Structure 1
Amino acid sequence: MQGYDEAVVKCFLKNQTQLFPEPVADSYEEAEAFLEECMAVVTNSKKEVWEYFDEECVDMEGADEDEILEAAEVFDVGDGRYLIVE
């Protein structure tokens, strides 16, 4: 099980409506539990986001790095890391 630090959980809690039509968590604890339940992934760089999608066989044909980072399921934590929620 991957642990999620405060920056990651707060990022998801603040920006969750970029992926979902309405909030799925109303508190820090709910957000953390949701991330654990859906096995969200934290990457340490843009390159790792690309590698993650490649490993998961996500069709990225014709997409560039910026388009991948703008995907609804990719959250910019703000410190160089990215949260991927599927």
Structure 2
Amino acid sequence: MMEYDKVVLQAFLEKQLQLFPEKVAETEEEAADFLDECMAVVVNSVREVWEYFDEAGLDVEEYDEKTILEAEEVFEIGDGRFLILEA
């Protein structure tokens, strides 16, 4: 189980509608539980986002950085890290 800090949880709560049609969490506790269920991961850089998708078997060679970061399941946390959901 991954631990999600307050900054990650707040970023998810603020941006969850980019992936879901309605809110799936209202509180930090609900957000943490939901992220655990989705097996969400936090990565420290754009490069790690790229590596995550590559390891997941996606053909990322065709994509540029902007395209990768625009994926609905990628949430920019705001401090250089990114949250990736398996939704």
The answer to whether the superposition gives a TM-score over 0.5 is yes
Q: Match for 2:74: what amino acid?
A: V
Equivalent-residue separation in structure 2 for 1:59 and 1:17 (angstroms): 26
Equivalent-residue separation in structure 2 for 1:58 and 1:21 (angstroms): 24
1:1-80 map, 5 Å: 1-80=1-80
Instruction: Quote the offset at 1:59 in angstroms.
Output: 3.0
TM-score (norm 1): 0.95
Equivalent-residue separation in structure 2 for 1:61 and 1:21 (angstroms): 30
State the SS of the aligned residue for 1:11.
Answer: helix
Please give the per-residue CA displacement for 1:4-39, whole angstroms capped at 9, x wherever unaligned.
000001000110000001111111111111001111
- Give the number of aligned pairs: 86
Segments of 5+ residues of structure 2 without an aligned counterpart are none
Runs of 4+ in 1 over 3 A off after TM superposition: none
Instruction: Quote the offset at 1:61 in angstroms.
Output: 4.4
Equivalent-residue separation in structure 2 for 1:19 and 1:84 (angstroms): 11
Q: Compute the RMSD of aligned alpha carbons.
A: 0.9
Equivalent-residue separation in structure 2 for 1:63 and 1:6 (angstroms): 31
Segments of 5+ residues of structure 1 without an aligned counterpart are none
In the alignment, which residue of structure 1 is the partner of 2:82?
82
